[in-house]
Amino acid sequence: MGCWSKSTSLKRLREKVLDIYGDFTRLFNITSITEFKKRLKVFRAYEDPVEKKIFLLAKFLEGRGLIKFTDPQNFHVPVDNHLTRIALRLGIVNLMDYSFILKEIEVDAETDIAIRMKVREAWKVVSEISGKDPFLLDDFLWRFGRTVCLREKPLCEKCFLKDYCRAYKTKNFLPEHTFTLTWYY
């Protein structure tokens, strides 16, 4: 039954792409990330208001030379749990209340979106100040979150940011917030 469902979903995707664009190559025959986002949002998997999957796909396509976007000022990091955790621990994102994170209480969709948007905007500011492309910054942060700023037992002794890190100073290593009821991630 699972294979049938996946096969049916892929068939519907193919049909929708063909109905709207005629073929898959026309779907990606663009140069604007703004247009890219508009085209993908007609598909349920890309409805996320924070646009994680859109920016992740854009990063992959541009990185492989398949699309060259002419509006990189509209790039954002694709916000995932690692980028959220790092932003909270560094203190570049502040929340009014952290108790739901500490207690690992699942948040509602509205709260999840609000937190991830704050994280996205914070990393945009970091990108602008540092002069680093958000897609390049994402590569670094994702790896950093998977190898150093771990959810459990972060390796602070290996972290070059520890002198600037709120979590390191306070010894309060927040994990990311909990939200699992989504197709966004």
Q: Could you give all domains of the chain from N- to C-terminal order, each with its CATH number?
A: 48-185 (1.10.1670.10)
* pTM for this entry: 0.89
Q: What is the pLDDT along the chain (185 residues), one digit of tens a residue?
A: 445 455 677 788 788 889 998 888 888 899 999 999 999 998 888 999 999 999 999 999 999 999 999 999 999 999 999 999 999 999 999 999 999 999 989 999 999 999 999 999 999 999 999 999 999 999 999 999 999 999 999 999 999 999 999 999 999 999 888 888 776 77
Tell me the three-class secondary structure of the chain, residue by residue.
CHHHHHHHHHHHHHHHHHHHHCCHHHHCCCCCHHHHHHHHCCCHHHCCCCCHHHHHHHHHHHHCCCCCCCCHHHCCCCCCHHHHHHHHHHCCCCCCCCHHHHCCCECCHHHHHHHHHHHHHHHHHHHHHHCCCHHHHHHHHHHHHHHCCCCCCCCHHHCCCHHHCHHHHHCCCCCCCECCCCCCC
